[in-house]
A and B are shown apart, each in its own frame.
Chain A
């Protein structure tokens, strides 16, 4: 049994909040470059250049990429041989988020659903735990903005709708979302499981790096096909018209009930922020 103190966990979370909001991943920057090179629309090229410049400023000046610094979504893989000491893990994570959003000058976006009163410190964090083998804790922080989250959907297809049904639903979702989720977007798709499981799979899919494919060849092909169809819609960066509507499509799939075909589409804006740390 390895002991890990909450005092070790809090600063890691704090730093992840700032790191994720200031430093856009190289995979996203490379995807901007491909769009600048290939998009047929001059306006699209200009928007993508602005996004690159924005990422440069953010990294150099250590200021948030976007004013929407998101709700703090965390995936925690807790090794079963870890014993957390000195406090409660959930409280430690929330304390790390509290410190990170305050010290990093990040916007606090958590509020009461009806009164809209801000909680003031961006807590509670949205935490997904997984108990895994080993004696380490792996923490992935993925701040999630509201604009693209609002365009996301879960649906329960009939099994007969199959792959074509999935394709149609996802492409139509992106079409209807149009300019709202800040294209170019990343699209996370969860297929199977139950109602809530599909949504979690879709969210997890967004943690993948651009260009990585699902190991199942049939699903990898579906990812490419859906991306191709989305980019034929013509929406383009910011919806001003162009061929770079989405930068990639990631699918995660699990078995489901014989009566169901759950499908979740989680859209992420181009501020595809996620950083991880292992303690």
Chain B
């Protein structure tokens, strides 16, 4: 597996081309949250030809529905949710310029193909490490769909947010390669 790389958002094609599966990446800058319900709304806006609540060019979407922040916290626990539920929506967002997604679990062949075609990557964050991950989120504010509660779209300011490259821009998949390496019998 590769080394540790620091990247600042928004991400460029040049940033992404050098990434390989298994690389540990520390992200700094702004990322946006979104999960099932928010993705559905974004997708509906695109279908209707309307503007999105944020510019997604070069951006990263983190599939997360955080727990409520305690007084004094920027955000509650904030680990990734399972990504396949966003598979129906991701290719369109990638086509519109989305450069990164953070989640956990397998993506569909369509999403992997879109990442190859338009140069985007899928990062994994450690599922269930919500208390630890929250430490790298310095600020959180709702930018759209407040009515969705934990599923609202939030703008996060992150510092050295730890992720691993699961799918790179070449179509490789850490889940496939990792299991192959340690499978027995």
Q: Residues of A with Cβ closer than 8 Å to B? A: 40-43, 47, 50-51, 53-54, 57-58, 61, 63-69, 105-109, 116, 118, 146-147, 150, 178-180, 182, 232-236, 238-243, 269-271
Contacts and interface: CB of A to CB of B under 8 A. Distances in A.
A236 B69 CA distance: 31
Given A54-B132, A107-B76, 4 more contacts: A67-B130, A178-B105, A178-B179, A234-B182
Mostly, the A contact residues are loop
Given A150-B82, A232-B183, A239-B178, A43 B127 contact: no
Given A66-B79, A67-B79, A179 B130 contact: no
A27 B178 CA distance: 27
Given A68-B81, A179-B105, A179-B175, A40 B182 contact: yes
B68 A105 contact: yes
Contact of B128 (A41, A109, A235, A269): A269
A147 B35 CA distance: 13
A233 B149 CA distance: 38
Interface residues of B, number: 46
A147 B127 contact: yes
Contacts of B68: 105-107
Nearest to A243: B182
Contacts of A270: 128
A53 B133 CA distance: 10
B76 A63 contact: yes
Given A66-B79, A241-B182, A106 B132 contact: no
Given A67-B67, A232-B185, A234-B184, A239 B175 contact: yes
B12 interface: no
Contacts of A239: 104-106, 124, 174-175, 178-179
Contact of A64 (B130, B164, B181, B182): B130
Contact of B130 (A54, A146, A240): A54
A57 B135 contact: yes
A224 to B, nearest CB: 16
B67 A106 contact: yes
